[in-house]
């Protein structure tokens, strides 16, 4: 397993949730929510440099059948543009089915109202994507 922090993105139409692992790759932590305003690639590059990340995990919202639907196509287009902008980082697409549902249920159980949820859900979904990936690489290393 490579050294350093892993960054995850939850790419939406208007916002991008950002999460980062700890250096030991045990936990995922929320970092920020970026607006899709044309500056997002530069800001992602800044996070990569700040955390000295070598890996970027991007959630791919497949359909319930595991297929690439309309939203996943938009994410793939974003990833292709990001690859042209960035260099020297591995980009991993990670199945993020159900992260929205899980995050919403977590907020409900915590008593967080929908107004506050909208402000933090993108970062929380990025955390869920990254934690799922971290759990996977730990299991893979153990096996």
* Bridge partner residues of 94 (DSSP): 59
Q: Are 90 and 54 contacting, i.e. CB atoms less than 8 angstroms apart?
A: yes
Q: What is the tens place of the pLDDT at every residue in 103-115?
A: 556 656 666 666 6
C-alpha span between 89 and 57 (Å, rounded):
10
Q: 102 vs 8, which has greater pLDDT? A: 8
User: What backbone torsions phi and psi does residue 46 show, to the nearest 5 degrees?
Assistant: -65, -45
**Taking the model in full, what pTM does it have?**
0.86
Domain membership of residue 138 as a residue range: 6-142
Residue 102, in any domain of the structure: yes
* Bridge partner residues of 57 (DSSP): 8, 92
How many CA atoms does the CB half-sphere of 46 hold within 13 Å? Answer: 9
Task: Assign residue 40 the CATH number of its domain.
Answer: 3.30.420.140
Residue 21, in any domain of the structure: yes
Distances (CA, A) of 30 to 63, 115, 121, 130, 139: 25, 18, 10, 10, 23
Q: How many domains does the chain have?
A: 1
User: What backbone torsions phi and psi does residue 31 show, to the nearest 5 degrees?
Assistant: -115, -55
Q: What is the tens place of the pLDDT at every residue in 57-79?
A: 999 998 778 888 898 999 999 99
C-alpha span between 10 and 32 (Å, rounded):
11
Residue 69, in any domain of the structure: yes
Residue 72, in any domain of the structure: yes
Residue 1, in any domain of the structure: no
Q: pLDDT > 70: what percent of the chain?
A: 81
């Amino acid at each position: 397993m490579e050294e350093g922090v892993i960054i995850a993105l939850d790419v939406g139409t208007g916002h991008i949730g950002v999460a980062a692992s700890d250096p030991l790759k045990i936990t995922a932590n929320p970092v920020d929510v970026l607006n899709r305003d044309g500056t997002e690639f530069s800001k992602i590059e800044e996070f990569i440099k700040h955390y000295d990340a070598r890996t970027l995990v991007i959630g791919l919202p497949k359909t319930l059948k595991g297929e690439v639907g309309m939203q996943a196509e938009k994410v793939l287009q974003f990833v292709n543009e990001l690859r042209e902008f960035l260099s020297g980082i591995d980009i991993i697409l990670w199945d993020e089915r159900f992260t929205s549902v899980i995050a919403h249920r977590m907020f409900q159980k915590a008593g967080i109202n929908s107004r506050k949820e909208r402000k933090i859900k993108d970062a929380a979904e990025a955390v869920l994507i990254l934690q799922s990936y971290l759990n996977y690489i730990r299991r893979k290393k153990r096996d």
